[in-house]
A and B are shown apart, each in its own frame.
Chain A
Amino acid sequence: MPHYQTSIQHANSLLQGGWKMEVGASAGNLVASGTNIGIGNMVSFTENITQFTTQAGNATDPLQGVAQHTVTIEFECLEFWPPVFDEIRGENLDTENEATAGTYVAGTANIISTGGLTEITNKAFRFTNSKLVSAATVETVIIVYKAYAQTGLSFSGKSDNDEDPVMVIPFTIIGKLDTARTAGDQLFIIEAEGGA
């Protein structure tokens, strides 16, 4: 008989596997008609709390709090799909055309070209993990209300002989406060059905 220090407190509260990733103009738009970023995965989710302190100098600091509150999310795309790249970057930084005649390729192409514009528009992002519990799909959803692309396009070629020759396109986005929303609900929301 095994003896554990403790036991699980909330059944089905362990997440397994990866995330579906979506981007949209706002949280409401995401729910209605978000764009699926496609296969790939969220790699990391990091909330950043930069603190201020009021220092007493001769006693315990009397006050601490949050000076800056952001979230950093890294994810990887496997699908080389320029229209989605443009949307992640806010749709105002690039010239993007879908299913059009290319200049440098013979056939129909999805095209993104960039350089010369300066605006990075905020987007909302949704990440959804699902697992099965008693034959029902149980979801955990993270929505970042207002985020922008921190990094540009970046990818490295693979050898033709690589065991996994698929190229990966990583992105990092920074979520910042959406001050049009109620305080306490301006950065991100996590809703977890597991265990509820």
Chain B
Amino acid sequence: MTVWEMIGTKLLAASAVTAIVGANVFHGDKPAGLGLPTVNYFEVSNGLVGQGVVEIAHYQISCRAETPGGAQDLAHAVAVVFHNMKETVSTFDVNAGSVLDKFLMKEPDTDTYHVPVDIRLAFDASENT
């Protein structure tokens, strides 16, 4: 299992998240024309430490909704999933997950609200295959 598959699996298994977005969880860009709320996520950076044995992946999980409160509620549900995470998702062992930051933005072009949740995950590089 790859790290992006693990994140998607974890989000779709989180009832607090799916209660808001249903199955609208996407890796990469948000599909054009899709209604809100949605979650899409992508890798921001990825580095190897410990002589290449341990991988540190940073992901942005974009939470979008039509109202600021809706976006914040969704982002909070997502943040709770990953903060202080230490668990096995399917077969993927995550040894330390943490939420680095999240903040509310208004996207004026579409008059919608966006909270990017930045997370960091540490795991053995051998997991990410």
Which residues of A does B touch, CB under 8 Å? 4, 8, 11-12, 14, 16-17, 131-135
Contacts and interface: CB of A to CB of B under 8 A. Distances in A.
A135 B126 CA distance: 14
B122 interface: yes
Contacts of A8: 51, 53
Contacts of B91: 134-135
A16 B93 contact: no
Given A8-B51, A14-B50, A14-B54, A133 B93 contact: yes
A112 B94 CA distance: 40
Interface residues of B, number: 16
B88 A16 contact: no
A132 B53 CA distance: 14
B54 A132 contact: no
Contacts, number: 32
Contact of B53 (A14, A134, A135): A14
Given A132-B86, A135-B88, A16 B95 contact: yes
Q: Is the interface of A mostly helix, strand, loop or mixed?
A: loop
Given A12-B124, A16-B122, A132 B51 contact: no
Contact of B96 (A11, A17, A133, A134): A17
A135 B52 CA distance: 21
Contacts of B53: 8, 14
Contacts of A133: 93, 124
Contacts of A11: 126
B27 to A, nearest CB: 23
Given A17-B122, A132-B95, A135-B91, 6 more contacts: A4-B51, A12-B124, A17-B96, A132-B87, A132-B93, A134-B91
A135 B93 contact: yes
B93 A17 contact: no
A132 B85 CA distance: 11
A134 B20 CA distance: 32
Given A12-B124, A16-B122, A132 B50 contact: no
